[in-house]
Amino acid sequence: MNDLSNYRRSYEKSQLTEDNLPDGPITLFRDWFKEVEDFGTAAEVNAMTVSTIGLDGFPKSRVVLLKQFTYEGFIFYTNYNSEKGKAIAANPNLCLSFFWHELERQVIIKGVAEKVAANVSDGYFESRPEGSRLGAVVSPQSEVIPSREYLENNLKELEHGYQGKEIPRPEYWGGYIVKPVEMEFWQGRPNRLHDRIRYKLQEDHSWRTDRLAP
């Protein structure tokens, strides 16, 4: 057995106080995202964990890439027929989380997912490299397949079939926007007395902020 009880570090890089919090959480997210980008050591600043409630009743989390965020919400793309897509169709309430260990920060987002407009998905699909577009077409995401060779052989057939042609976006592939109802910002602090500030959406569409105990 590997005993991890002595894996400890002191979090001392920053702090999060109520003195100058913006009115809305997206502004603070934007500022934090840029600070992590500028810090320069994160391989994929936009990597986030998406957690859904599956059709079997179990939660499931996986890492995907955030592709855009606006004051309305957070956008990512996937196969609508995947396990993730089916879970969202049954229950659009989900959680996004970012962990930026370089600056000892987490952001946890509760929100409601809905499909983006078809033309938005079209635009992003067309911007992807050809291999990624073909991969979206060829992969029956989350389905059982017989082998790796099955995928690679199907990809070769598609490459041949679409040679010199446009690759259309499949109807079963596109984007979701997650519209937040709650966002928590977590800043590591010494002695495990971390800063936790929660924004919660109110009925009048304003945001209430609260400090949570670490």
Does residue 192 have an active-site annotation? yes
Residue 113 lies in a domain: yes
Amino acid 64: pLDDT: 97
Residue 48 lies in a domain: yes
Residue 67 lies in a domain: yes
Q: What range does the domain containing 116 cover? A: 18-121+174-211
* CATH number for position 64: 2.30.110.10
The tens digit of pLDDT for each residue in 60-96 reads 999 999 999 999 999 999 999 999 999 999 999 999 9
Domains in the chain, number: 1
The tens digit of pLDDT for each residue in 152-166 reads 999 999 899 999 899
Which residue ranges of the chain lie beneath pLDDT 50?
none
Distance CA 167, CA 23 (A): 43
Distance CA 78, CA 73 (A): 16
Distance CA 146, CA 163 (A): 26
Count CB neighbours of 172 within 10 A: 15
Residue 130 lies in a domain: no
Residue 72 DSSP one-character state: S
Catalytic pick among 192, 196, 198, 208: 192
Amino acid 110: pLDDT: 98
Residue 198 lies in a domain: yes
Write out the H or E segment, with its range, that includes residue 26.
Answer: helix 25-39
Residue 184, CA distances (Å) to 25, 131, 154 in order: 9, 36, 43
Amino acid 164: pLDDT: 86
Residue 47 lies in a domain: yes
